[in-house]
Amino acid sequence: MAVSYLYHTFGNDLLNIEIPFIKDLTTEKINKVKILLQIIGRKINSPFTSAVGRLFDAVSALCYVRLTVNYEAQAAMEFQMLADENEKGFYDFEVIADSKPWKISFKPGLIQIVNDILNKVPISKISGKFHNTIANIICEISNRIRMETGLDKVVLSGGVFQNALLVEKAVLKLYELGFKVYTHSKVPPNDGGLSLGQAVIALFKSFHPLTI
């Protein structure tokens, strides 16, 4: 994911970026990266993902926090634990709203993160700014939807909302903007909640097979 985000931001010049993630690559790994770049460039078995968790994986790797994982969300969790919770800074992003669904480009933020790494900004500060940025994205999109629809209720769900720091920051910012915010309490926000929903639908279909 880190290689993919770098490619879509810097192109093939990514191998010239003087950050440890690139500089410490062995010859064998550089050759693997070059093959990966060809696969991405030719769009071979390389679909886009909208998962915020994959962005966490990428930034965690770029910051040299976690390059390989042994369990789901390990990179994101370790990156979160390093965050300076009092950090007020953030990174830039772009909302591409010329078609539906809207897209969020993190290219500006990725360039700023790479510059922070090059300037030896502490990882705790980078992580804090990154969490603030994701919370800002949530608020920006929520605001745009409210302006378009009048809706003022926001439900925060998905695996990334197991991140307590992100939930805290997002909820506080949304409250300040006048939103009513709903978060999980009895059902987990990740695949556990998804599985429960699938089970409920399956049960409903078993009693009402013609309605869905």
pLDDT digits (tens, 9 = 90+) for 86-115: 999 999 999 999 988 899 999 999 999 999
Q: Per-residue DSSP letters for the chain?
A: -HHHHHHHHHGGGGGG--SHHHHT--HHHHHHHHHHHHHHHTTSS------HHHHHHHHHHHTTS-SS-SSTTHHHHHHHHT--TT-------EEE-SSSS-EEE-HHHHHHHHHHHHTT--HHHHHHHHHHHHHHHHHHHHHHHHHHH---EEE--SGGGG-HHHHHHHHHHHHHTT-EEE--SSS-SSHHHHHHHHHHHHHHHHH-TT--
Domains annotated on the chain, with CATH: 49-207 (3.30.420.40)
pLDDT digits (tens, 9 = 90+) for 144-159: 999 999 999 999 999 9
Q: Mean of the pLDDT values across residues 163-187?
A: 95
Q: Mean of the pLDDT values across residues 59-68?
A: 94
Q: Is pLDDT of 206 > 80?
A: yes
pLDDT digits (tens, 9 = 90+) for 21-46: 999 999 999 999 999 999 999 999 98
Residue 212's pLDDT is what?
A: 53
